[in-house]
């Protein structure tokens, strides 16, 4: 188990989704960033077809 010294707020801070959502740099793993990257690739592929 985990240390009894940890409160619930610690678990919120280290939650995987929360950690990913804080990485907002270009090309980062946030949902919005990934969707932008997908859209960019789709636009690029349109130019080849």
Q: List, for residues 1-49, the tens digit of each pLDDT value.
A: 678 888 878 877 788 888 788 887 878 888 888 999 999 999 999 998 6
Is 3 a domain residue?
no
Beta carbons within 10 angstroms of residue 30's beta carbon: 15
Is 2 a domain residue?
no
Is 1 a domain residue?
no
- Domain count for the chain: 1
Is 16 a domain residue?
yes
Structural domain that includes position 16: 8-46
Sign of CA dihedral 24, 28, 34, 38: positive
Q: How high is the pLDDT of residue 1?
A: 61
């Amino acid at each position: 188990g985990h240390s009894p010294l940890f409160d619930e707020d610690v678990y919120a801070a280290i939650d995987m989704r929360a950690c990913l959502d804080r990485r907002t740099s270009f090309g980062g793993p946030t949902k919005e960033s990934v969707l932008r990257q997908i859209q960019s690739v789709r636009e690029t592929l349109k130019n080849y077809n």
